[in-house]
Structure 1
């Protein structure tokens, strides 16, 4: 059977030939053309068919122009076809290798991710175990420390409270020692402090003394002045002595109840309890002075009945003298008055001022001077009448 085939001629080019097909098993002398890979097979077949179509043209050119030019033309076309085939196979191989490599890399990445997740799970378990172990290990220690901290906080609070109490007591003791019988320390919260008493003393002389003097009969000024002065000095001595006995009685009742009421301890105790107690007693007398003075004038008149015969103006004056003198007597230390002035002495303008006439020599005392304490500073100057100058 005759069949048209394609093959290489003696000059190395593809040529068409009519060959007789052989029986089965007989090998054809024609070498089959290499088959292009399946991925680029259509492109290669198109090039091959195009080349086959050009063979008749080549044969005609051979017949006309000669064998050499035709052979070079065909070889050039064949070389281009071979290069296209080789590049196609290389691309196929390279593409296949990359796909294989990509598949392997993706598989390796998946394995690594799985390994990382497994390690993370193991790390979490180990860390949880360690933390659990730490909690169980240090739980008792933490409880003990918390308990010790609470205990220390309580002790600290107790010490702070104790310190505060001690400082308060120390402050009271220091204040008591500083102010006890110390006239230079003035309690500004005391409404009857020495400065206030000085104002009351001036008001007593300017108001009640003047009213009492004007209410007295007769024209003997010197005699009436002396009566009013004697009333004040007698009331002052009464209040001073009563205040002293009152303080001693309170001290005995508080610290020495086995002693008689007016017995004075020969050796005064100077410890802190005695100092604090005496300061408290003195302050208590000041607080109770308002109630004490309500019945004090009546008690004085009971002791001195002649005072019940005084006129109204002088009685009011005497009552004010009791109020002032008691407040002066319970000061710490007591207020003092200077009244030992004799006629013929030179007027001491530091302690006294003149009454109603000028002069340098004292005729008689009109009103005593008020001192902060015995031999202390002057709070209010007294009044003296000067000797009348000769013309």
Structure 2
């Protein structure tokens, strides 16, 4: 190769490398519907990236992850990457979605750093939250980041989760009684529906068929026993470990045992939408629609629920933006699964209304704190995480924005 040709070749390689390094996604236009619902999707994605530009340089301790921003504070409170703290996977998940939504390689590099610090969590068997911890990090790393070497970690994680399945009950045991001594036998919480995604993924990627079967059985049992006649969800069910009978209906984070905790209903909406996506079993789609319609019927005008529907009549009670983010993301998927056009439009429009509200000055953290969203409530009944920014609210918010972007690109 001659010197001039060689130089041109090297310049071309460098240009290609730099182009890939900074391969920003094409700007996307405002999203409008026939009902005159308009959101500036690109601005909301740009706002998220701008917030990461501020927060990421501050979050340098790889032994910790951001959990919340307290009321009237501006920076993330970080907690240890401990096997009993369920929120560790959401921050790397946010970074993976930021990379996917923007094309900025910086977020991929940050996501890899933040994902690979807790590989050992793949062996957790003490609780069900391994799904929350591993799939947003390693699962998105595999799917979005092309990190195929994460496969074995995810398969091990799925088997660890499956070890908590009790065939006598038909569900995965959520918490240990040592962690929550109020309950003496088999405990399952509605949140556990989200962890089934890890089992479905593993079954499709070389894992045992039993992982799929466990996920389906858990979903069936929860559908039968975890919801009231009015289609609202309890938070905690205690089952007899031997015969599978329901012993108690309780709550940990809702207002009262008989109240309707809004994020619990949100977990159900997301969970059954995801289960239908993975199984294509119409009974799950029908149920997802029923509990979604119930959730939507309880919302205020701004589409962001009070932390518990049964205290929503009091204007002084706090909101939960995290529930709105979870449901907005689920509704975008649900709108593509239902057959009737009016249902497609109804769910899609509801999702856009939620995202528009969350991106508004009322809920956006831009210019106020380092998060994407404010006004989430984690556990008011326990006296903490009240009217704060929460890392999982940001996770499901950017997931929803990325899903909407993909839908617009397909159009």
TM range (shorter): under 0.3
TM-score for both structures, normalised by structure 2: 0.19
TM-score for both structures, normalised by structure 1: 0.19
Q: Which has the higher helix share?
A: 1
If asked which structure has higher relative contact order (CA below 8 Å, sep 6+), I would say 2
